[in-house]
Amino acid sequence: MAVKNCARCGKMFSYMIGAPLCLSCKNQDEEEYKKVKEFLYDNPGATMPEVSEAVDVTVSKIKRFLKEGRLEIKENANFFLECERCSVPIKSGQYCENCSHILANEMKSAFNKGANKSTTDQQSDGRKVAKMRYLHRDK
C-alpha cells in the first residue's frame, strides 16, 4: 500500500488501485455519476446543460463520464454531445449531420480553391475570361 496525493483535492491517502483519488473524491465521483444516471433514466431526452443544471454536476464532468463509457446514450435520447459547430445535441462524433455535410462541402471547395491557386494565377485567369468575352462579342 502506497501513500499518494489525491489527483483532485491533493489530500494524502492510501493508494490501492484505479484512479489516484482519495476515498472522498472517489465517493463524490460515484455520487455524481449516480445522480446523472438517475436523472437520465427519468429524462432520457435531456440535453447536457439541462442535466448539468438539474443534478449540479459540471458539463465537463458529465462528458468525462461519457468518455469513460460509464454513461450510455440511449437510442432514442437526443443528447449528449453537442455539435461543435452549431451546438445542437448529437449522439456521436463531433458534428451534427447537417454540419458534417456543410463541412464536407467546405473542405471540398477549399481543396478545389487550393488546387486552382497552385496551377493558375488569379489575375491571368481574369484576363483570360475578359478576352474570351470580348472575342465572343466581336463575332
Q: Is 81 in the site for Zn ion (CB under 5 A)?
A: no
Q: Cα–Cα distances in Å, from 130 out to 5, 87, 124? A: 73, 44, 10
By CB under 5 A, which span of 3-11, 27-35, 50-58, 66-74 interacts with Zn ion?
3-11
Count residues contacting Zn ion (CB under 5 A)? 11
By CB under 5 A, which span of 51-59, 72-80, 95-103, 120-128 interacts with Zn ion?
95-103
| Cβ at position 14, least distance to Zn ion in Å | 12
| Cβ at position 15, least distance to Zn ion in Å | 11
Rounded to whole angstroms, the Cα distance separating 39 from 117 reads 54
Rounded to whole angstroms, the Cα distance separating 2 from 4 reads 6
Q: Closest by alpha carbon to 32, among 50, 56, 13, 63? A: 56
Single out the residue of 37, 63, 85, 91 in contact with Zn ion (rule: CB under 5 A): 85
DSSP secondary structure string, 49-82? HHHHHHHT--HHHHHHHHHTT-S---TT---SEE
Single out the residue of 12, 86, 104, 115 in contact with Zn ion (rule: CB under 5 A): 86
What φ, ψ does residue 53 adopt, rounded to 5°? -70, -40
Closest CB to Zn ion among residues 6, 57: 6
Question: Is there a contact between 71 and 40 (Cβ–Cβ < 8 Å)?
Answer: yes
Cell numbers representing residue 25 in the block: 473524491
By CB under 5 A, which span of 53-61, 88-96, 105-113, 123-131 interacts with Zn ion?
88-96
| Cβ at position 28, least distance to Zn ion in Å | 8
Binding site residues, Zn ion, CB under 5 A = 6, 8-9, 11, 22, 25, 83, 85-86, 96, 99
